[in-house]
Amino acid sequence: MKTTPKPIFQRILLKLSGEALVGDLEYGISPAVVEKVAKEVKEVRSLGVEVAIVIGGGNIYRGVAASAGGMDRTSADHMGMLATVINSLALQDALEKMEVFNPGPVGH
């Protein structure tokens, strides 16, 4: 019987560039890439490792920013934050479908 070695770390932080979700696309979100990332997170979680994920929004925002030259800085910042939320929701959906986690109330 093959045994899996005990992980060195109990918790990790995974920092993903939004552009990591693009795959073969020019910009946006590749469902295949999101699924692959979710599978890899699930594999790490199956080892008993807690995973925190930080994700950027460059895959969406850079495509918008290219066509929005001269935009007000505050509006541009808000768009970047929304792009980050969009990526987070895409990854959260994939993780939930794979039953990797079920988020409870904040702080629990």
The residue ranges of every structural domain in the chain are: 11-97
CATH numeric code, 11-97: 3.40.1160.10
Distances 74 to 18, 29, 63, 77, 78 between C-alpha atoms, Å: 20, 24, 18, 5, 6
Question: With 70 as the cut, is the pLDDT of residue 35 above it?
Answer: yes
Is 79:64 a contact under the CB 8 Å cutoff? yes
Higher pLDDT, 103 or 99: 99
**Has this prediction a pTM greater than 0.85?**
no
Name the residue with higher pLDDT: 44 or 79.
44
